């Protein structure tokens, strides 16, 4: 592991501790948030060109969290990147804080309010197209949930993006296999995702969504203005980092008890960790141009 990857891992660790604190104070979607923590750590601390001093810089990269219920991970990243004070996060979902269950565009660093699933990728196509037409070198990243792909509007977007030749657009699918309190394949099966996206004309990479090295390698790939958009299918585990809740169908929207909070923090900080019997092993499929 390189020094930069070690630093990213430290940021991801800090993000997980913040999310645990948020879940101790008020209920939140910590499971879905922890599954994308490593993705966001790589984006905000290695890949994306953003500046908290110039949140509206026209040359900035844009991040759209389409699966808006995973906002605690985004808020943690924005705090550590310098966009907001920590007190706002710990008071989330109260009148004393601008931080709510879902991202709000009123907060610097958040490009669009999300929460109603199926709209983020369409918005991302618009921003990527604007970047391209303005001749900018910036990119748009959109994080979608795997269960969210049940929304038909996503497939309209997936079909249209290659037609616009948006090489500056990157979709990231959080493939944790769970949708609310059910498994995705028990509701509306969505596999084979890799073949589906490829058939629509996308460049496809399947990676371990908790391996910062793999994530950095693929997310740093910039397409030419006329190339195909890229989708990264990140195989993740819900509640990654808290073994006693990993990959649990009922560990969705919850509040940590004090005992569970202390136990979770000990694990996140590197204490003795017992692997969840349900934790999924990850596989990697090579990038296809």
- We report the CATH number of the domain holding residue 73 as 3.40.50.970
Sequence-ordered alpha helix ranges (H) in the chain: 3-25, 30-35, 37-42, 71-81, 86-90, 120-133, 152-160, 184-187, 193-199, 212-219, 258-268
Strand partners of residue 179? 182
Residue 161 near residue 129, CB atoms below 8 Å: no
Q: Model confidence over 65-123: pLDDT tens digits?
A: 999 889 999 999 999 999 998 888 888 877 777 887 788 888 899 998 898 888 999 99
Burial class (CB in 10 A: 0-12, 13-18, 19+), 113: middle
Burial class (CB in 10 A: 0-12, 13-18, 19+), 249: middle
Structural domain that includes position 51: 3-288
Distance, CA of 243 to CA of 231 (rounded, Å): 28
pTM of the model: 0.91
pLDDT at position 131 is: 96
The secondary structure of residue 116, as a DSSP letter, is: S
Number of domains in the chain: 1
In the chain, which stretches have pLDDT less than 70? 223-226, 271-289
Helix then strand then coil, in percent of the chain rounded to 5, is: 45, 15, 45
pLDDT at position 276 is: 39
pLDDT at position 226 is: 66
């Amino acid at each position: 592991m390189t020094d930069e990857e070690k630093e990213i891992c430290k940021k991801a660790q800090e993000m997980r501790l913040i999310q645990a604190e948020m879940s101790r104070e008020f209920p939140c979607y910590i499971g879905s948030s922890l599954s994308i923590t490593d993705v966001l750590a790589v984006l905000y601390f290695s890949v994306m060109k953003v500046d908290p001093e110039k949140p509206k810089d026209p040359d900035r990269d844009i991040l759209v969290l389409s699966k808006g219920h995973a906002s605690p991970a985004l808020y943690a990243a924005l705090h550590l990147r310098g966009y907001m004070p920590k007190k706002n996060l710990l008071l989330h979902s109260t009148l004393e804080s601008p931080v709510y269950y879902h991202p709000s565009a009123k907060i610097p660093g958040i490009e669009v309010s999300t929460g109603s699933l199926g709209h983020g990728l369409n918005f991302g196509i618009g921003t990527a197209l604007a970047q391209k037409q303005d001749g900018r070198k910036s990119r748009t990243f959109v994080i979608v949930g795997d269960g969210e792909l049940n929304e038909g509007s996503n497939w309209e977007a997936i079909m249209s993006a290659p037609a616009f030749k948006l090489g500056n657009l990157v979709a990231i699918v959080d493939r944790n296999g769970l949708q609310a309190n059910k498994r995705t394949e028990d509701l509306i099966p969505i596999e084979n995702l890799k073949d589906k996206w490829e058939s629509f004309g996308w460049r496809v990479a399947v990676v371990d969504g908790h391996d910062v090295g793999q994530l950095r390698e693929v997310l740093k790939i910039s397409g030419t203005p006329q190339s195909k958009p890229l989708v990264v299918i990140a195989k993740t585990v819900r509640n990654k980092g808290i073994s006693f809740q990993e990959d649990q169908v009922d560990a969705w929207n919850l509040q940590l008890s004090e005992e569970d909070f202390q136990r979770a923090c000990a694990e996140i900080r590197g204490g003795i960790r017992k692997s969840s019997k349900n934790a999924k092993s990850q596989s990697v499929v090579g990038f296809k141009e």
